[in-house]
Amino acid sequence: SGGSPLWGRPGLSESAIVDRALVAYFSGEADNQREAAINRRLDRLTRQFGRIERDNLVLAETLATFVHYFLTVTPPVPANQVEAARAKGDLRFDLFVRQVAEALRSGQRILQNAVEDVTAEAASFESDTGPLTEERADA
């Protein structure tokens, strides 16, 4: 007998086993089930990738906005205050790192929550005002 578990089933003749195998093969049932499972997985991966892409865009824009602001408003430090400024910066950075670690540990997502709030606000604004390209009657 072959290595297939079907051969060992009591009460099944070889022709019944061959019939079942041929029906399954030609009906494509297994292929359809596999394809549906693959499609569900691809859909889920596509949604996850979209969220990752959006999050990366938010991070890049956040960083660019901060750097632009920092470079625009931060005056140069006088030479006699550089060491004190570095020490103060190190303390502030340590506090920042601790705050980020605590936010990650507790599950709080300050930026994510803010982005979701702004996105919801923008969607609400768009639905309240209608399309921005409408012609005005009084124009």
Residue ranges for the chain with pLDDT beneath 50 = 1-3, 134-139
The residue ranges of every structural domain in the chain are 13-74, 78-129
| Predicted local distance difference test score (pLDDT) of residue 93 | 96
| Predicted local distance difference test score (pLDDT) of residue 47 | 96
Within 1-139, residue ranges assigned H as helices are 14-27, 29-73, 82-106, 110-129
The 10 Å Cβ neighbour count of residue 89 is: 11
Query: 21-50, pLDDT tens digit by residue?
Result: 788 777 776 677 888 899 999 999 999 999
Residues sharing a CB contact under 8 Å with residue 112, sequence separation 6 or more, in sequence order: 55
* pTM > 0.75: yes or no: no
